[in-house]
Chain A
Amino acid sequence: GQSLEQPSEVTAVEGAIVQINCTYQTSGFYGLSWYQQHDGGAPTFLSYNALDGLEETGRFSSFLSRSDSYGYLLLQELQMKDSASYFCAVAGGYNKLIFGAGTRLAVHP
């Protein structure tokens, strides 16, 4: 089967750095994605790792270790607007994305 594990909640202060971990189990693997969803909004694509290593996009970075079936999303210089839910997702088969349960990030002043 396919499953993903990520923390349910994370709290941090403005300006800090936070890391959201994701471990996965899947029968096929094309890559690990991260999506952001604000309350009442739609999931929005943030990043994608197909190969091991770190991908950086502005304040956000994503890391993948395929041998460990593990990845993380790193958010730097946190802002209040980063308060949202963050989902990791794996492409476990053709045209199928499996989402984790989401991590709710609360950023405080």
Chain B
Amino acid sequence: DTAVSQTPKYLVTQMGNDKSIKCEQNLGHDTMYWYKQDSKKFLKIMFSYNNKELIINETVPNRFSPKSPDKAHLNLHINSLELGDSAVYFCASSQDGTGSVVTQYFGPGTRLLVL
């Protein structure tokens, strides 16, 4: 009965590889997010989708490509991985509507280490 789940939990890979992270929520929310948390624990939004539509695309290299097949799923594909991509990536979801964005439910995170 996990609310927001992510796979994999850990990802260790070589520079230059391509990898994907998957996220699913069973809360019935319309909006999903990807965040990056760096080693200093700074949490920064990358993308936001509302009902499968991209609504926020922060200044993120185009090596990062999100995809939402339906409103319960949001995946993140990363091409040509770089050392600086090492971080924890969190998926989150919230209900639709102004103000609902403040209450977000986070997945357990995917710890990505690029060697």
Q: Which residues of A contact B (CB under 8 A)?
A: 30-33, 37, 41-45, 48, 50, 85, 87, 89, 91, 94-99, 101-102
Number of A-B contacts (CB under 8 A): 64
Bound-state CA distance A51–B34 (Å) is 28
Q: Which residues of B contact A (CB under 8 A)?
A: 31, 40-45, 48, 50, 55-56, 90, 92, 94, 98-99, 101-109
Kindly list chain B residues whose C-beta atoms are within 8 Å of the C-beta of A32.
102
| Cβ B103 vs Cβ A33 within 8 A | yes
Given contacts A43-B90, A91-B101, contact A96 B45 (CB under 8 A): yes
Bound-state CA distance A63–B72 (Å) is 33
Least Cβ–Cβ distance between B27 and chain A, in angstroms: 12
Given contacts A87-B43, A96-B48, contact A42 B101 (CB under 8 A): no
Other-chain contact of B98, A30, A41, A101 (Cβ < 8 Å): A30
Kindly list chain B residues whose C-beta atoms are within 8 Å of the C-beta of A102.
41-43
| Cβ B102 vs Cβ A97 within 8 A | yes
Cross-chain pairs A/B with CB under 8 angstroms, 14 sampled: A32-B102, A33-B103, A44-B106, A45-B103, A45-B104, A50-B102, A91-B102, A94-B98, A95-B56, A96-B48, A98-B45, A99-B42, A99-B44, A102-B42
Kindly list chain B residues whose C-beta atoms are within 8 Å of the C-beta of A101.
40-42
Q: Which B residue sits closest to A50, measured CB to CB?
A: B99
Least Cβ–Cβ distance between B76 and chain A, in angstroms: 16
Bound-state CA distance A102–B90 (Å) is 16
| Cβ A33 vs Cβ B102 within 8 A | yes
Kindly list chain A residues whose C-beta atoms are within 8 Å of the C-beta of B102.
30-33, 48, 50, 89, 91, 97
Kindly list chain A residues whose C-beta atoms are within 8 Å of the C-beta of B50.
95
Kindly list chain B residues whose C-beta atoms are within 8 Å of the C-beta of A98.
45
Least Cβ–Cβ distance between A75 and chain B, in angstroms: 19
Kindly list chain A residues whose C-beta atoms are within 8 Å of the C-beta of B108.
41-42
Please name 20 further chain A to chain B contacts, defined as beta carbons within 8 Å, in addition to the given A30-B99, A87-B43, A97-B45, sorted by A numbering. Answer: A32-B102, A42-B90, A42-B107, A43-B90, A43-B92, A45-B103, A45-B104, A48-B102, A91-B101, A91-B102, A95-B31, A95-B55, A95-B56, A96-B56, A97-B101, A99-B42, A99-B44, A101-B41, A101-B42, A102-B42
